[in-house]
Amino acid sequence: MSEAPDPEVVELAGRIFDLARTGDAQALAAYVDAGVSADLTNDNGDTLVMLAAYHGHAAAVRALLERGADANRANDKGQTPLAGAVFKGADDVVRALLDGGADPAAGQPSAIDTARMFGKAELLTLFGAA
């Protein structure tokens, strides 16, 4: 039987996830530099990169990737940050993720599948899937 999580740790994690949602790249970088996992996940399996990407924060995505975050880590639904960025139409985030090693074919649906669903021919070309 596992112990209940420390409420202070849960509160801190919540604040860090909020930093990803709001795109505070400097604060996220400071937390990761201080020892927080760059691949910290919430109860849905969303990483800090996923949250920053989905909310359109390219600088936060870059800061996390520069600190070792996994650009391809899927959440519990099989969604990747790159597919989320394609869905949201955040082209600057798409480029940041690609620069950080994101695989357009990863996940379900993949970023390629998502680009096809939304008729984003320029992204299909960028992904080499046109």
CATH number of the CATH domain containing 104: 1.25.40.20
**For position 64, what pLDDT does the model report?**
98
**Residue entry with tokens 């899937």:** 129
Tell me whether residue 58 is in a domain.
yes
Query: Over the stretch 13-64, which tens digit does the pLDDT of each residue have?
Result: 999 999 999 999 999 999 999 999 999 999 999 999 999 999 999 999 999 9
Tell me whether residue 35 is in a domain.
yes
Range of the domain at 84: 7-126
Could you give the percent of the chain with pLDDT greater than 70? 98
Tell me whether residue 11 is in a domain.
yes
Query: Over the stretch 97-118, which tens digit does the pLDDT of each residue have?
Result: 999 999 999 999 999 999 999 9
The pLDDT confidence band at residue 1, using thresholds 50, 70 and 90, is low
The pLDDT confidence band at residue 4, using thresholds 50, 70 and 90, is confident
- In 3D space, the residue among 86, 97, 26, 91 whose CA is nearest the CA of residue 61 turns out to be 97
3-state helix, strand and coil shares in percent for the chain, rounded to the nearest 5: 55, 5, 40
Tell me whether residue 2 is in a domain.
no
| Mean pLDDT within 67-74 | 98
Tell me whether residue 62 is in a domain.
yes
Is residue 123 predicted with pLDDT exceeding 80? yes
d(CA 4, CA 7): 9
Q: How many domains does the chain have?
A: 1
Q: Helix, strand, or coil here: 110?
A: strand
Residue 85 neighbours by CB under 8 Å, 6+ apart: 53, 54, 56, 93, 94, 97, 111
Tell me whether residue 1 is in a domain.
no
